[in-house]
Amino acid sequence: MSSVIAISKLAKYYEVPEREAGLKAAAMGLIKRRYKTVKAVDGISFDIQPGEVVGFLGPNGAGKTTTLKMLSGLLHPTSGSASVLGFEPAKRSHDFLRQITLVMGNRNQLSWDLPALDSFDLQRAIYSIPMDEFKRTRDEFIELLELNELVQKPIRNLSLGERMKMEIVGALLHKPKILFLDEPTLGLDVTMQKRIRTFVAEYNKRYGATVLLTSHYMADVEALCKRVVVIHHGRLLFDGDLSALVEKFSAFKTVGFTLDDPTISLSQYGDVVSIDGSRVTLRVPKEKTSAITSRLLNDLAVEDLTVEAAPIEDVIESVFAVKEEAVE
């Protein structure tokens, strides 16, 4: 089976001005500027097969959004190659654009002042969707996302979660084969996140679409993706089954608490992640979380104790630090 997305040694570099602080440095910068090269994406390679839902993970600034913009044709790569459905994305041909979509959780594509139904009509005109097909698809998506009572309201009057659902409907009306989803559940409550995940999974099932998803919410990745690609500082660090990643990432939990004297030895309770004033954060084995929190409460005068799953950004940073050094 041939890949629908294939990238090889893909890179995107930026030249950005740099100067020292102070008036003298500012004046010198007007005469002669110095530049440094920022490697947003630094020679990554991977393939994605038809119908796959792949999690694209990494800390902020890792290069995820830059990669998605190159794959959707919004940015030209500095070097390397990218192929999506056999097209070169940077050329942004009409046939290419009709088969992909890019949804960004922090960007609006629907008109702010129009009701969603009117914005959907604009999407129909842009993509030349036959009226019967448009109405059938629109109504199907509205029902799946439970939007019947909202589509007559201007977008500006909707909540963040409601707007995001409208954005997804608008982005999928032309039934794209490739979905680039950049933080589609960003800022949404747990219930809304689940509805978005359910919809994406159903779309993938009904239409066999290929999905490349970025998210900082592990629940999104676990619910949708069997495979994950991890990048950091623009470099590929991991490409494989989610189960292998989850086994490493979910083995620990984060325990936070306030302690009057955070200088005392805490190694017997877990790995110290950070100490910020009197606030201490430990990483402890998941299966020992209950026992360790009981010991902390019995042994020490702790307050405001919390137990959370380790943030995916932090886990990627720590788990793959050794691999990153090896690459360098």
Q: Which CATH number belongs to the domain containing residue 118 in this structure?
A: 3.40.50.300
**Strand pairing category for 34-48 and 53-57:** unpaired
Angle between the N-to-C axes of helices 116-127 and 160-172, in degrees from 0 to 180, rounded to the nearest 10: 20
Decide if 90 contacts 77 (C-beta within 8 A). Answer: yes
Residue 281: CATH number of its domain: 3.30.70
34 and 131 fall within a common domain: yes
Domain count for the chain, please give it: 2
Same-domain status, 147 and 178: yes
Alpha helices in 62-189 (DSSP H): 64-71, 94-97, 116-127, 131-144, 160-172
Both tokens assigned to 277 = 């004033």
Which domain-ending residue is among 247, 278, 295?
247
Asked if 84 and 128 sit in the same domain, the reply is yes
Same domain, 183 and 277: no
Going by C-beta distance under 8 Å and a sequence separation of 6 or more, which residues neighbour residue 26?
19
Same domain, 137 and 240: yes
For residue 103, list its beta bridge partners: 181
pTM of the predicted protein model: 0.77
Indicate whether 113 and 127 sit together in one domain: yes
Could you tell me which residues are beta bridge partners of residue 283? 254, 271
Note the pLDDT of residue 310.
Answer: 65
79 and 23, same domain (yes or no)? yes
Examine the fold and report which residue of 247, 280, 300 is the final residue of a domain before the chain moves on: 247
Is 163 found in the same domain as 56? yes
Q: What are the residues facing 254 on neighbouring strands?
A: 283, 308
Burial class of residue 257 (count of CB atoms within 10 Å of its CB; 0-12, 13-18, 19+): buried
274: containing domain:
252-327
Question: pLDDT tens digits, the chain, 328 residues: what are they?
Answer: 689 999 999 999 998 877 777 677 666 666 777 788 999 999 999 999 999 999 999 888 889 999 999 999 999 999 999 999 999 999 999 999 999 999 998 777 888 889 999 999 999 999 999 999 999 999 999 999 989 999 999 999 998 888 999 999 999 999 999 999 999 988 888 888 899 999 999 999 999 999 999 988 888 888 999 999 999 889 998 899 887 776 666 678 889 999 988 888 899 999 998 899 999 999 898 889 999 999 999 999 999 999 887 666 566 666 555 455 544 4
List the strands of the sheet with 279-285, edge to edge: 271-276, 279-285, 252-259, 302-309
Question: Do both 224 and 258 map to the same domain?
Answer: no
Do both 235 and 263 map to the same domain? no
- Does 173 share its domain with 273? no
Helix, strand or coil, per DSSP, at residue 277: coil
Q: 186 and 271 share a domain?
A: no
Distances (CA, A) of 190 to 114, 219, 319: 27, 10, 26
Q: Are strands 210-214 and 178-182 parallel, antiparallel or unpaired?
A: parallel
